Amino acid sequence: MKASTFVYPWDVIGDPGAPDRIAGLGVEQVTLAAAYHSTRALTPRHPRHRVVTAEHAAVLYPVGDRWAGRGLRPYPAGGWAPGDAFGEAARALAGAGLDVHAWVVLAHNSRLGAEHPHTSVVNAYGDRYPWAPCIAQPGTRAYLVDLAAEAAVRPGANGVELESLGWYGLQHLHAHDKTGGVGLGDAGQYLMALCFCPACRAGYGEQGLDADVLAAAVRDALEPLWRGEADDAQGWAGVEKLLGEETAAATRAWREDRARTLQETAVRAVRAAASDGFQVLLHADPVTHHVGANPGVDPAHILSVADGVVVPCAGGPGLLTPFAEHRREGTVLAANLGVVSGMGGSPGTLAADAARAKEHGATELRLYHAGLASDGDLASVREALAAR
């Protein structure tokens, strides 16, 4: 299986040895960040620095003219990725024989939410999630579609992986995050992800729901969880138990429609801006009500829209199976495996994990993350990939 590793531009720029070191892992491709959220990252081998602080979500290339005069627009990076950082890194990586694809993070942007709070998801208690743009709002959707098209087709990129192209919820690791004290479970996380901004309130009305009544029902349903009274019903059955089947179905219908149509529109925009043969993948979860960096999608639908998906496999390869059932010739099913042992990855079992992923339908591997991994982790990756 072809393997690609995730890389940040700052892993490469200023380190002449980085491209050959990455190519020497045995990967054929790199997935290079072109638009990324705020982060603090180690650079264990860089000759000039050991820690990079990306202070806010930003594009890692010069902002295009299409944004002139618009209220919602991407932010340029600061000193952590100045100028055309993506382009500079892409050229260096291509020079080492690597195929470069762009990595574009979309509906995950804390600065956007801080400066334009009306764009954020609002939960049933009235709390805003500044990291989570509401994908139902027309202005936000237009911003995300244009960002996808611009960030995807950077010079030097032969494809793109679109992350967070869907709903985001509570489970975001914010600075000094302290939200793990109550176990909400899958159902509780869904209820905490329901948005009550004006656009979503109107959308619930289109589904026959009164938004105020729904918000009260959500708060009532969550109350036992705040008291630590865990409910045995999990997954979608748990949501139905907490909200009632008809109400739960109506919320899901609204949210799935907004996600599906946004994904369709964004992929079309990327294809319109790209040359023939440009590959478009989405980071995705096959459970449609799930939220986050790998938002829930309907496998049959998304594989009719995009060229494939990147699927989280840290918990095993099971999430690949629903996509494999709808795979066509040329469909990419990439298993995303962590190889940074200090962040919960398992580089020592990469060969076995890759084999299991292949049994569940994976056609490619994605390795997270060459820039963050220790020398020991990278040695394990080289060994595993050499044994393919």
Q: What DSSP element (H or E) covers 133?
A: strand 128-133
Give the amino acid at 334: A
Joined together, the tokens standing for residue 336 give 């995303």
pLDDT at position 227, please?
A: 85
Q: What is the mean pLDDT of residues 282-301?
A: 97
**Would you say residue 177 has pLDDT above 80?**
no
Report how far apart, in Å, the C-alpha atoms of 179 and of each of 91, 152, 174, 300, 314 are: 41, 33, 9, 34, 22
CA distance 137 to 182: 30
Closest CA to 373 of 45, 72, 130: 45
Helix (H, G, I), strand (E, B) or coil at 82: coil
Which domains does the chain possess? 2-179+256-386 (3.20.20.80)
The residues facing 54 across adjacent strands are: 39
pTM: 0.96
**Would you say residue 183 has pLDDT above 80?**
no
Under the banding of pLDDT at 50, 70 and 90, the label for residue 178 is: low
pLDDT at position 241, please?
A: 92
Q: What is the mean pLDDT of residues 26-51?
A: 97
Joined together, the tokens standing for residue 220 give 């009532």
pLDDT at position 144, please?
A: 98
pLDDT at position 232, please?
A: 67
CA distance 111 to 129: 11
CA distance 48 to 349: 32
Which DSSP string do the residues of 190-258 spell out, in sequence order?
HHHH---SHHHHHHHHHTT--HHHHHHHHHHHHHHHHTT---S--HHHHHHHHH-HHHHHHHHHHHHHH
Q: What is the mean pLDDT of residues 104-123?
A: 97
What are the DSSP E strand ranges found in 68-168?
99-105, 120-122, 128-133, 159-163
The residues facing 333 across adjacent strands are: 309
pLDDT at position 369, please?
A: 97
Under the banding of pLDDT at 50, 70 and 90, the label for residue 185 is: confident
Q: What is the mean pLDDT of residues 145-155?
A: 98
**Would you say residue 306 has pLDDT above 70?**
yes
CA distance 7 to 99: 12
Residue 201: partners with Cβ closer than 8 Å, 6 or more residues away = 211
Percent over 90 (pLDDT), the chain:
92
Under the banding of pLDDT at 50, 70 and 90, the label for residue 302 is: very high
CA distance 383 to 388: 9
Helices (H) and strands (E) in the chain, counts: 14, 13
Joined together, the tokens standing for residue 87 give 């382009």
Distance, C-alpha 146 to centroid of its chain: 17
**Would you say residue 382 has pLDDT above 80?**
yes
For the stretch 44-79, pLDDT in tens is 999 999 999 999 999 999 999 999 999 999 999 999
**Would you say residue 176 has pLDDT above 80?**
no
